[in-house]
Amino acid sequence: MKNYLFLLVAILAEIIATSALKASDGFTRAVPSVITVIGYGVAFYFLSLTLRTIPVGIAYALWSGIGIVLIALIGHFVFHQRLDLPALLGILMIVGGVLVINLFSRTSGH
């Protein structure tokens, strides 16, 4: 269970870093740029801890699936970016894939 907590920390740090990357305006703004670098460092460190026990494919599926959904929500609510129907359907399919892996796969490390 601790490894899934590490994965959650990695995902949250990556989401913060990606949001700051957008706000950094191409690394021209200092504070968001520093947050980006630190956030990705924290994210990769905690992902490395996760990979001690969770298979890399499963960890990455969770990382990317949850990350995509949360970044899309941040993009919509914070950066006022709109998603069209195909984008929303694609995100729903990613969520479905992550659920299938975690609920039905024997390789998920549970």
**Every domain of the chain and the residues it spans:** 2-104
- Residue-wise pLDDT tens digits, 40-97: 999 999 999 999 999 898 898 889 889 999 999 999 999 999 999 999 999 999 889 8
pLDDT above 70 (res 109): no
- The distance of Cα 15 from the centroid of its chain, to the nearest Å, equals 6
Tell me what pLDDT residue 61 has.
Answer: 86
Tell me what pLDDT residue 102 has.
Answer: 77
Tell me what pLDDT residue 41 has.
Answer: 98
At 101, the pLDDT band (50, 70, 90 cuts) reads confident
What is the CA angle 8-6-41, rounded to 5? 90
